[in-house]
Every structure is written in C-alpha cells, then in structure tokens.
Amino acid sequence: MTDLEHTLPAHATLIIITGMSGAGKTIAVQSLEDLGFFCVDNLPPVLIPKFAELIEQSKGKIAKVALVIDLRGREFFTALSESLAYIKDESTIGCEILFLDATDSVLVQRYKESRRHHPLAPKGMPLDGIRMERQMLEELKNSATLCLDTSSMKPAQLKEKIVSRFSHLGKSTLSVNITSFGFKYGIPIDADLVFDVRFLPNPHYVDQLRPKTGQDNEVYDYVMKWPETQTFLTKLLDMLQFLIPQYRKEGKSQIIIGIGCTGGKHRSVAIAEYLGKMLGVSETETVAVSHRDSERDRH
C-alpha cells in the first residue's frame, strides 16, 4: 500500500509503528516524539485496548500516541488484530498503522554495519531471520495505512517523510538555544555555531556601564547604537534565517548558537538578547536565551 493522503480524524489519534527489524522504527518514533506524540516502545498488543481506554479517560490530555509493536510470534499478530478491531468498533480513537520496510539486501547490510543479530535468528544468518519475519508480517503489511520503503532513505529523509505525513497533528519545532559567553572562560563545548563580537565597541571602558550587563537598557542601547553593530546584525540574521530551516530539513531538533565577547558580560549578552527577540517570532522554532558568564566578576 502506498502513502495515503487522507486526513486523520480530529480526536485522539493512535499510530502503530511496526515493520521489518532494521527498517527504521527507532527513527520513526523519534520523529513522532518531536511532533509531540506520547510514544511507548514494545507495548504488548494485548494491552492496546486498556491503553486506548486510558487515552479516552485522559479527556484530551493524551491526544497523540504512537506505539512501537514488534511481532515475534503468531500469538502477537492475533492479539494485535483483536486490539485493532476493538479500537475500530468500541472507541473514538483514530488509528493508523505505519509499516516500515526495506529490501532484504539492505536489511542484511544494516545488520552487518550495526553488528547486531536478527531477533528471529540470534545464532543464525541475518537473512534467515529477515525472511521469517517478512513472512510473519505479510498480512499486517497489507492492512497498513502507510507503508514506507526505507531502502534508499537516509535517517534525515525518513524523518522528513514522517514529519511531512503527520505534521498536521502537531508542530515540528526546532529548539534554538542562544547563549552568550566570554572567550576568556572558554568556548561552549556544545555550541553548533559560534560568533565573535569582540570587534564591537566595548562598554567595559565606560565607567558607568562597567558594573552592568547587556540585559540592562543602558548597556544594550550602547551596544546597539553603533553602525557596525547594525550592519553585523543584518548580516547575521540573514544568515541564521537561511541556516535554521536547513538544519530542520536535515532532521536536527536542536541548535545551539554561541555569541562571545571578551568577558561574556556586555556585548555578547546584548547581541544574544536581540537575536532571541528577532528569532522568537517564528512559529516553527522555540527560542531560549541564556547567559553563561554575565554574572562572573560582577562589581
């Protein structure tokens, strides 16, 4: 079955993630987590009806749920069939089955690269387990509402496909963390991007500004008033507004931007505050601003 374009119901939605081992179920569940889904890994199918009852009793607090189901025996498939029938006939929950697949040769290669044993052939050849699992899952695959062949997909491409398919059920946000710092205390080791603003006029040399930080209006206004500051911010914002969507496209869920000056107290703090205000207007990113070194050596 190919990618369906129908719209899921507006009430609580349950997505069953299943398919061939090694086809990308971990990436799928991470992608749905980024969309705000409550995800449970390896829930026994027999417990799905009870879980559905809890969803309904939550009165909307749990509205988007994804369950990862791995079938290891015929009894599991029977239980899953009965559970899905219950949801269809007895509950108000909309249910979809996301089936992930890949060719035998690709799955064999992935097992070799990961040095893992196939769960159905722990002491045998991966291909034996793959063929056994494919036969077991054939009926489930035919009943899937969305089947994705991940053979030629990179992890970021699979995530993009899933986010595109289910994004109407929740926002896919990129967390943008902007942190100011002082170079004399070291560059933040977790920063993805680092910008040096030590070329800007320094409030440290203005006596009445020295004890304050870039969060104080007087210092902020001082940093912002210079033509070189405005030129730099225009160019920096233009670059970030280009880069951030590219990071999201590649599957990143978080980006850390470091803004550094000498002591991390004046210039970098003001610039970080400005960027937080300007980037925070987007609906596709959550923006947080922090100041690592602004309170050091304050006098």
Binding site members for ATP = 19-26
**What do you get for the CA distance between the two ends of the chain, in Å?**
68
Which of 189, 176, 193, 174 is CA-nearest to residue 289?
176
Q: What are the binding residues?
A: 19-26, 70-73
Q: For residues 27 and 56, is the Cβ–Cβ distance under 8 A?
A: no
Q: What are the binding residues for GTP?
A: 70-73
